[in-house]
Amino acid sequence: MVFPGTFLGVWNLLQISGRESVLSISPAWLQAHGHAQVFGWVGSFILGIGFYSIPKMRGGAKSSFGTAWICWAMWTTGAALRWAANVYLWEWRFLLPLSAFLELAAFLIFFRAVSQHRPEASGKEKLGPWIWVVISASMGLLLVLVVNLCGCLFVSFRAASPAFPHLFDQRYLALMAWGFLVPFVWGFSAKWMTVFLGLKPLRTRWLLAALVVNLTGLELTVAGAGWIGSWLFVVAAAMAVTALRMFEASEKEAKIRGVHSSFPFFVRMAYIWLIVAAALGVAATRWDTSGGIWGASRHALTVGFISVMILSVGQRILPAFAGMRMLWSTKLMFAGLAFVTLGCTLRVSCEIIAYQGYAAWAWSVLPISALCELAGLTIYAINILGTFVLEPSHAQKQPLVVGLPVKIS
Ligand code: HEM
């Protein structure tokens, strides 16, 4: 799912750089790229992890697997239809709302399955703070999907093209970024990073306060007070970093067995990108005249924060989730992360310089940035594929004899 959106993003950026103008590209194509990346790739990753963590699924009940497959089919069809309708414009007035409806329905199936999950034993155990953050992110995703459906219905009845109107799209993107993507990463960081990086214990109140400040910033931004809202995103990001103790000396050794030793570095790097994204958001509300500072802020967040985090955490957990496999290649893990980070650095800096008209040479760096990001994401996909196809699972390593695992000498 990473490829349709990435290829379109690269294609768009090559066109924009060639013509030295973002206005020459169809907004429907830009939006098809954004949608495919956020829903097709990141969304599928999140739904997959959510389903995995439901104990009933791990118990292997057939009906639960059926539910997961139905959800996957609807979600994937919805994302694919949106991509095709925006790019080819074929029957888009019908396909756009259909795709939004399928995605919303898939999420509701997922949500029903996840919300039936009760903590073990009495079911009265206290929910960890990270769960509240993930619940908030899930509500954010639900809201994004509802707004997306409304937007699709609006353009399908009223507009001349499948692209959302600019102002609506900007606020919808803010909701997607700060209402859904960011809290999800904070929630899962709170659950995993203390252990993975050996960090000092989480400051729970700071994390919950960061969530409240973030939601306030989001409300203000969506209401049109983007200047104050963007400042609140900076404060919230700094509070989340403080809560997670991301940049304090670790208490224990990081758990890097099976992954590249640079894993803790890249996770911290992702959080630096989060701060950069929030700071650029403030700069954009003040100085953006071309969409370049907004674009740089958006990609510092989606590529620098979200993608670097998925490449780091995905390669840490997915092999284990898929039958206790080992990651195929730790060197490829490093190469993928290095390419994405390099591409993102070039992109974020040169997008501002080029789009804002500060220096013309920056236009020629943007295609290189796109190819670096494409290379990084492709290496990641190859490594995950190699892990699933070539690495033996736990079951293959330890065959069962009369129900008991036997050790292979
Ligand atoms: C190979 C890497 C990528 C390239 C070359 C790329 C390129 C682009 C370009 C050219 C735009 C148009 C606006 C602008 O000029 O800034 C854009 C917008 C966008 N991108 Fe990317 N992108 C990449 C990766 C990603 C990833 C990984 C995500 C999300 C996880 C993402 C999410 C978005 C979103 C949400 C938009 C806004 C779409 C809209 O206007 O509605 N991009 N991207």
- The answer, yes or no, to whether any atom of ligand 1 lies below 6 A from the CB of 356, is no
- Which are the contacts of 157, defined by CB distance < 8 A and separation ≥ 6? 93
- The answer, yes or no, to whether any atom of ligand 1 lies below 6 A from the CB of 297, is no
Mutating to test ligand 1, I would choose from 298, 342, 346 the residue with most ligand atoms within 8 A of its C-beta, which is 298
- The answer, yes or no, to whether any atom of ligand 1 lies below 6 A from the CB of 369, is no
Query: What is the Cβ-side half-sphere exposure of residue 394, based on CA atoms within 13 angstroms?
Result: 7
3 state SS of 401? strand
Question: Residue 290's Cα: distance from chain center in Å?
Answer: 25
Nearest atom in ligand 1 to the alpha carbon of residue 296 is 16
Burial of 192 (0-12, 13-18, 19+ CB in 10 A): middle
pLDDT at 399: 54
Rounded to the nearest angstrom, the distance between the alpha carbon of 291 and the centre of ligand 1 is 12
The residue whose CA has the least distance to atom 43 of ligand 1 is: 9
User: Which phi and psi angles does 405 have, rounded to 5°?
Assistant: -70, 135
On the question of pLDDT at 403 being above 90, the answer is: no
Contact in structure between 25 and 15 (CB atoms under 8 Å) = yes
Rounded to the nearest angstrom, the distance between the alpha carbon of 391 and the centre of ligand 1 is 33
pLDDT at 364: 97
- The answer, yes or no, to whether any atom of ligand 1 lies below 6 A from the CB of 325, is no
Rounded to the nearest angstrom, the distance between the alpha carbon of 113 and the centre of ligand 1 is 31
The residue whose CA has the least distance to atom 33 of ligand 1 is: 34
DSSP line for 102-128 = HHHHHHHHHHHHHHT---STTS-PPPP
On the question of pLDDT at 184 being above 90, the answer is: yes
pLDDT at 50: 87
Q: Name the DSSP letter for residue 42.
A: I
pLDDT at 370: 97
pLDDT in tens, 204-243: 999 999 999 999 999 999 999 999 999 999 999 999 999 9
- The answer, yes or no, to whether any atom of ligand 1 lies below 6 A from the CB of 308, is no
pLDDT at 63: 60
- The answer, yes or no, to whether any atom of ligand 1 lies below 6 A from the CB of 67, is no
Q: Residue range 270-291: average pLDDT?
A: 97
Q: For the chain, what percent of residues have pLDDT higher than 70?
A: 92
- The answer, yes or no, to whether any atom of ligand 1 lies below 6 A from the CB of 300, is no
- The answer, yes or no, to whether any atom of ligand 1 lies below 6 A from the CB of 307, is yes
Nearest CA-CA partner of 136 in 222, 210, 52: 210
Rounded to the nearest angstrom, the distance between the alpha carbon of 34 and the centre of ligand 1 is 5
Nearest atom in ligand 1 to the alpha carbon of residue 16 is 10
Q: Residue range 2-30: average pLDDT?
A: 93
The residue whose CA has the least distance to atom 37 of ligand 1 is: 34
**Banded model confidence at residue 322, pLDDT cuts 50, 70, 90:** confident
Mutating to test ligand 1, I would choose from 176, 299, 351 the residue with most ligand atoms within 8 A of its C-beta, which is 299
pLDDT at 60: 56
Q: Name the DSSP letter for residue 91.
A: T
Q: Is the pTM here over 0.85, yes or no? A: yes
Mutating to test ligand 1, I would choose from 13, 86, 178 the residue with most ligand atoms within 8 A of its C-beta, which is 13
pLDDT at 1: 86
Count H helices, E strands: the chain?
A: 17, 2
Rounded to the nearest angstrom, the distance between the alpha carbon of 394 and the centre of ligand 1 is 38
DSSP line for 131-184 = HHHHHHHHHHHHHHHHHHHHHHHHHHHH-SSSSPPHHHHHHHHHIIIIIIIHHH
pLDDT at 53: 76
Q: For the chain, what percent of residues have pLDDT higher than 90?
A: 83
On the question of pLDDT at 405 being above 50, the answer is: no
On the question of pLDDT at 191 being above 50, the answer is: yes
Contact in structure between 391 and 326 (CB atoms under 8 Å) = yes
pLDDT in tens, 162-179: 999 999 999 999 999 999
Q: Which of 5-14, 227-236, 393-402 has the lowest mean pLDDT?
A: 393-402
Mutating to test ligand 1, I would choose from 21, 37, 164, 356 the residue with most ligand atoms within 8 A of its C-beta, which is 37
- The answer, yes or no, to whether any atom of ligand 1 lies below 6 A from the CB of 174, is no
Rounded to the nearest angstrom, the distance between the alpha carbon of 386 and the centre of ligand 1 is 27
What gap in Å lies between CA 252 and CA 107, rounded to an integer? 38
pLDDT at 404: 45
- The answer, yes or no, to whether any atom of ligand 1 lies below 6 A from the CB of 38, is yes
Contact in structure between 233 and 290 (CB atoms under 8 Å) = no
Nearest atom in ligand 1 to the alpha carbon of residue 22 is 15
**Banded model confidence at residue 109, pLDDT cuts 50, 70, 90:** very high
Q: Name the DSSP letter for residue 306.
A: I
- The answer, yes or no, to whether any atom of ligand 1 lies below 6 A from the CB of 366, is no
- The answer, yes or no, to whether any atom of ligand 1 lies below 6 A from the CB of 340, is no
- Averaged confidence pLDDT in the chain: 92
